[in-house]
Amino acid sequence: TESTMRFSDFLAAEWKPALGCTEPGSIAYAAASAAAQADGPILAVQLLCDPRIYKNCYAVGIPHSGHQVGIRWALAIGALLPDPSAKLEVFKQVNADLLGDAKRLIDSGAITVEVARERAE
């Protein structure tokens, strides 16, 4: 019948490619998408984050980052990525220059993450 779906069709519709853990990838993708709307260079980034996302991203490695970990690195890298169209594979664009710029943002205190406590379970 028309209401049934093959399992392979369901998987193809629901699964999306990702590079690394999806939580840092989603943060970087969101930051890259927001930064693409900016009129100039990114000077600071603030994130209000769900506690579950924060927990799942806190110590996770970031692909192509030289062993950097965590939500602030995902956010800083994402905000500096040139093209958000890779979605959850945005870390493919990471290079040494971008990592240096991300480190400067982090070290300057320009990357801030706040956990939305009212959403905690």
The better pLDDT of the pair 6, 37 is held by: 37
Per-residue pLDDT at 6 exceeds 90: no
Cα–Cα distances in angstroms (integers) from residue 15 to residues 10, 11, 41, 50, in the given order: 8, 6, 33, 22
- Average pLDDT, stretch 78-105? 94
Q: Quick one: what percent of the chain has pLDDT higher than 90?
A: 73
pLDDT at 36: 95
Q: What pLDDT is recorded for position 19?
A: 73
pLDDT digits (tens, 9 = 90+) for 34-87: 999 999 999 999 999 999 999 999 899 999 999 999 999 999 999 999 899 999
Considering Cα of 68, then 73, then 116, then 56, what sign does the dihedral take?
negative
Mean per-residue pLDDT of the chain: 89
3-state secondary structure of 50: coil
